[in-house]
Amino acid sequence: MLVWDGIVTRNLADNVAESWMASQSNTYDREIDEAMHYRRWLDIKACMKLCNFYHEKDRKATDYDPTEKYRLVWDVMTHNMTQVIKKMGLDHTIDETTWPSASYSDMHNRVQGKKCTKGGQHVLLLDAQRRYIYGWTPRHNLWPVEKPFTASGPAEVKRLVEIVLPLVKGDAEDDDDKGLQILDDPPHIALDNHFSGDVTLNLLGELGFKGTMTCRRDRLPKSVAKKHFHHVNPLSTGRTLRRQFSCFFSR
């Protein structure tokens, strides 16, 4: 029985976003092409449904998931990655990815600072060098709010860290956990100011993670007196500096 499907690729380059073989400029792979004919792929897709609508949760249910129609695809792409690589890199980055859409689903909202005004967003945890996706979390308004992670950015960091933490060597494992511990140490994570704040720094530091981030002006460390920060007035060009760029490291 076919339980799930995915796109098979081979990668002989350092960066998965580049061509799978450095000696050619395209991504054509004859071995994969001959493994399954395109017609066979269409036959399988015509008979398989990733989300059975008979089992979809009602929007009012406590365990309702607005990504249930496509979550399996993302889970396979993300979590299967950690099953086939020997070791994860120690430098990661967290950022959102956006796609434009004008639908009224729970995954689509108004977005700011992007090329589109409405769409959906996922937040990804990536390998800073090879660009492998190690974790993902959807951005929507239906997540339960847990103090002190009341802002969306720090709450997203918490969810992604909880995905990566079991992959660190020496971390406690559940009996039914089939994941591989392929991280020698808690990694270093780079983030932008949307994810900044004392709660993010405390979370990373308490778990042994390292972090570098730009910090929002309203999320500067509360234990540091304001006189020690240098604020920038409007620039001579008439534009205002919206962010206070500072680097913080938690160890």
Residue 191: its H or E element: strand 188-191
Fold of 84-228: Nucleotidyltransferase; domain 5 (3.30.420)
What mean pLDDT, rounded, does the chain reach?
80
Residue spans per domain, the chain: 84-228
Contacts of 47 (CB under 8 A, 6+ apart): none
Instruction: Select from 150, 95, 97 the least CA-distant residue to 126.
Output: 95
Q: Which of the residue ranges 66-70, 192-196, 242-246 would you say has the lowest mean pLDDT?
A: 242-246
- What is the mean pLDDT of the segment spanning 47-71? 79
Q: CA-CA distance, 108 to 105, in Å (whole number)?
A: 6
Instruction: Select from 69, 73, 75 the least CA-distant residue to 52.
Output: 69
> pLDDT tens, 80-115?
888 888 899 999 999 999 988 888 888 888 888 888
- Structure tokens of 111? 């977005």
Residue carrying structure tokens 């990566």: 164
Does residue 242 carry a pLDDT above 80?
Answer: no
Vertex 225: Cα angle to 219 and 229 (nearest 5): 70
- The answer to whether 86 and 182 are in contact (CB under 8 A) is yes
Instruction: Rank 23-32, 33-42, 145-154, 231-240 by mean pLDDT and report only the highest.
Output: 145-154
CB count, 10 Å around CB of 162?
Answer: 13
Amino acid 18: pLDDT: 59
DSSP-derived pairing of the beta strands 210-213 and 118-127: unpaired
Q: Which of the residue ranges 16-25, 68-77, 114-123 would you say has the lowest mean pLDDT?
A: 16-25
Provide the pLDDT confidence category of residue 63 given band limits of 50, 70 and 90: confident
- The answer to whether 164 and 79 are in contact (CB under 8 A) is no
Vertex 37: Cα angle to 32 and 42 (nearest 5): 115
> pLDDT tens, 127-174?
998 888 999 999 998 899 999 999 999 999 999 999 999 999 988 777
- Structure tokens of 214? 């730009």
Provide the pLDDT confidence category of residue 4 given band limits of 50, 70 and 90: very low
Provide the pLDDT confidence category of residue 31 given band limits of 50, 70 and 90: confident
Amino acid 188: pLDDT: 95
Instruction: Select from 107, 93, 71 the least CA-distant residue to 157.
Output: 93
